[in-house]
Structure 1
Amino acid sequence: MSKTGKTGVLIVNQGTPDSPSVPDVRKYLREFLMDERVIDIPYMNRWALVNLIIAPTRAPKSAKVYQEVWTSNGSPLKIYGYRVEELLQKALGKDYVVKLAMRYQSPSIEEAMEKFKGHHLSKIVILPLYPQYASATTGSVYQKVMDLVSNWQVIPEIRFVNSFLDHPKFIEAFAELGKKHMLAASYDHYVFTYHGLPERQLHKNDSITSCEHANCTTSYNATNQFCYRAQCYETSRLLAEKLGIAEEHYTVSFQSRLGNDPWIKPYTDDVIQALTAKGIKRVLAFAPSFVADCLETTVEVGREYKELFEENGGEIWQLVESLNDSPLWIECLQELVTENPVVAPAKVLRVA
């Protein structure tokens, strides 16, 4: 007897406040930062840090920044999320049920999983929209989903998409966006900037003793396949190769650090100052750990780093937009769900 049930597809992004107001931003920060995989310190220490220090002091500042990216239709992250949900549903067809969820705030993972119950699903595919695996992102989504389904009486087959840092369509989609800028102007250097993580979280990786020992910045292999740093460097190598960028003409860096503990280096702001000190005047910046434009891309990379670059003598700092709802991105997601390639005409993306 063959299975006739549909397949549920849960696409999950990080999350966004319900509005750019201070109370909503504070609520979002509290839920996000109280996640034990995000701030991995003992509960009482985390509670005091988040509720007595970070949320009260950062919420008013963050609210002002969120107001910069907010549109009349709401948060860009949520707008693109619903657009991707719609396009992926259309691409997959009637045998699939696609739902968007945010790891923090709404629409929540719990709400989306409850909606699946009414569709008599045979299988659920969990697809976190993080290209590179990290415990604080993909791992947190896994834990939340497993906590929820542990209470279900009937649990259908569940498949988790671990990462897609080197998926051909993911690389091609970002390269296609970068190519447009490279054809329109010339650049002295290229920066691939990724969301940072505390160094201590890398050291918790069970499969490697250290990034130096596993050659995480120079190779991607079975030993370091779950190292966030190694995955970021591999994505950068693949993008540079696709676009014909020589190794000496690009730099990998990490942004968005919080607190005083050491985070993954090099820091993007330090890289910017080092590049301008060398006389670099024109930079094209990619943010390949984000698949939709958001505060960290539009404001942090697009505006704040641009200002820092110009203050230190740079002339052009251009951000490559995120994948958002691009056709190749939808094809990539379709392949990740079905595990079958979407046939399309080959494209040559190399730039001389």
Structure 2
Amino acid sequence: MSQRKIGVLLVNLGTPESPTTKDVRTYLREFLSDPRVIEVPKYIWFFILNLFVLTTRPKDSAKNYETVWTERGSPLLFITQDQAAALEKVLPENYEVVVAMRYGNPSIQKGLDELLAKKVDKIVILPLYPQYCAATTATVFDCAARTLKDRRYFPEIHMLSDYYRNPLYIEACKVQIEKALENATIDELVLSYHGMPKRTYDLGDPYYEQCVETTRLITEALGRSDIKITTVFQSKFGKIEWLKPYSFEYLPSLPSQGVKRVAVFCPGFSSDCLETIEEMGVENRDYFMEQGGEYYQFIPCLNTESLHIEMMKQIIVDSN
């Protein structure tokens, strides 16, 4: 009896086609039009988005994207592609791995079409978000469901929701941090997660608790009683209250408290991108150093580290 053919759709957030104002505007329009991302009545948000956000933000964002763009293009896209290639090498031969972006290209529709064309018997969708959030994980499900709803046939679909407690994920974070800090002396390790409006927490989204639990598990795995380990939230957008503490406020407050040597790691991101490389690697570093900081180390995301790929393999295979 032949083995079932399993398709894997590896989904990340997305990226503009290029670091130009035009392409960034196209990307932001799709991203910020998602009602899971912006939970504001549509008729109100439509005017805010088109009259204010999309007339100003794309130009500034394009300048930031230029700083992280490489010869291979967007780091988030090519790192995700590298992850898929590495994953396919360690999975059994009956697995096919395809990359998709929730916003931008390659789209989830294109990814699913590619797997269906390969006549797979089952599709496993892995959103590359360790912690579940309605604005990230759930919107992947929404998009996949919309893509498949009009099809006469599609195979068994299995969507994974989170992996923040997976032992290999925690071990991968531990190893990445230990490797980076091998020759460094720091006072504090700051674990930065993407922020969300506080209202989402009040409505019952488990994201905040999962981030806090991730920090607890990493702290336990590291066993470093000599340094303080803290959770912060980055990428605040708009004027409403978001999950706290904010990275841009917390980090520059440290030198006045005698904390002048820090390292920053982003456990909520599966691959380096604008929000890690530029925001946490440059922008927040500048805030910290301007207030008297002496040493700031940005630790890269898990990217294609072997334990990270092995974890993906494990949760995909275990889902069958």
User: Structure 1 length as normaliser, TM-score?
Assistant: 0.88
Match for 2:278 among 271, 289, 299? 299
What is the rounded CA distance, in whole Å, between the counterparts of 1:37 and 1:131 in structure 2? 18
Kept in 1, the 8 Å contact 2:83–2:309? The answer is: yes
5 Å-filtered alignment, 1:126-141, equals 126-141=125-140
What is the rounded CA distance, in whole Å, between the counterparts of 1:183 and 1:252 in structure 2? 21
Instruction: Indicate the larger mover: 228-237 or 242-251.
Output: 242-251
Q: How far is 1:247 from its partner? A: 9.4
Q: How far is 1:37 from its partner? A: 0.3
5 Å-filtered alignment, 1:134-213, equals 134-205=133-204
Aligned in 2, Cα 1:28/1:153: closer, same or farther, shift over 3 Å? same
Instruction: Indicate the SS of the match to 1:317.
Output: strand
Kept in 1, the 8 Å contact 2:129–2:136? The answer is: yes
What is the rounded CA distance, in whole Å, between the counterparts of 2:49 and 2:165 in structure 1? 35
Tell me if 1:312 matches 2:279: no
Kept in 1, the 8 Å contact 2:116–2:154? The answer is: no
Q: Which amino acid aligns with 1:75?
A: S
Matched residue, 1:286: 265
Instruction: Indicate the SS of the match to 1:50.
Output: helix
Matched residue, 1:229: 208
What is the rounded CA distance, in whole Å, between the counterparts of 2:2 and 2:162 in structure 1? 28
Deviations 1:195-233 (A, max 9, x none): 00001111222xxxxxxxxxxxxxxxxxxxx61111001
What is the rounded CA distance, in whole Å, between the counterparts of 1:309 and 1:4 in structure 2? 55
Deviations 1:306-335 (A, max 9, x none): 101011111111111011111111101001
Kept in 1, the 8 Å contact 2:8–2:123? The answer is: yes
Matched residue, 1:209: none
What is the rounded CA distance, in whole Å, between the counterparts of 2:17 and 2:125 in structure 1? 23
Q: Which amino acid aligns with 1:266?
A: P
Q: How far is 1:66 from its partner? A: 0.2
User: Structure 2 length as normaliser, TM-score?
Assistant: 0.96
What is the rounded CA distance, in whole Å, between the counterparts of 1:285 and 1:248 in structure 2? 13
Q: Specify every segment of 5 or more residues in structure 2 that has no aligned partner in the other structure, as ranges.
A: none
- Aligned-residue CA RMSD (Å): 1.4
What is the rounded CA distance, in whole Å, between the counterparts of 1:184 and 1:247 in structure 2? 15
Kept in 1, the 8 Å contact 2:253–2:291? The answer is: no
Kept in 2, the 8 Å contact 1:5–1:120? The answer is: no
Matched residue, 1:217: none
Aligned in 2, Cα 1:154/1:317: closer, same or farther, shift over 3 Å? same
What is the rounded CA distance, in whole Å, between the counterparts of 2:226 and 2:203 in structure 1? 30
Q: Sequence identity, in percent? A: 40
Q: How far is 1:55 from its partner? A: 1.5
Tell me if 1:328 matches 2:307: yes
5 Å-filtered alignment, 1:44-83, equals 44-83=43-82
Matched residue, 1:263: 242
Kept in 1, the 8 Å contact 2:255–2:293? The answer is: yes
Matched residue, 1:92: 91
Instruction: Indicate the SS of the match to 2:10.
Output: strand
Structure 1's consecutive aligned runs of 4 or more residues displaced over 4 angstroms after TM superposition are none
Deviations 1:252-286 (A, max 9, x none): 11010100010001111221133222110100111
What is the rounded CA distance, in whole Å, between the counterparts of 1:113 and 1:8 in structure 2? 9
Q: Specify every segment of 5 or more residues in structure 1 that has no aligned partner in the other structure, as ranges.
A: 206-225, 341-352
Q: Which amino acid aligns with 1:101?
A: A
Aligned in 2, Cα 1:247/1:134: closer, same or farther, shift over 3 Å? farther
What is the rounded CA distance, in whole Å, between the counterparts of 2:87 and 2:61 in structure 1? 31
Instruction: Indicate the SS of the match to 1:183.
Output: coil
Instruction: Indicate the SS of the match to 2:171.
Output: helix
Instruction: Indicate the SS of the match to 2:254.
Output: helix
Instruction: Indicate the larger mover: 49-58 or 300-309.
Output: 49-58
Aligned length: 319
Kept in 2, the 8 Å contact 1:3–1:122? The answer is: no
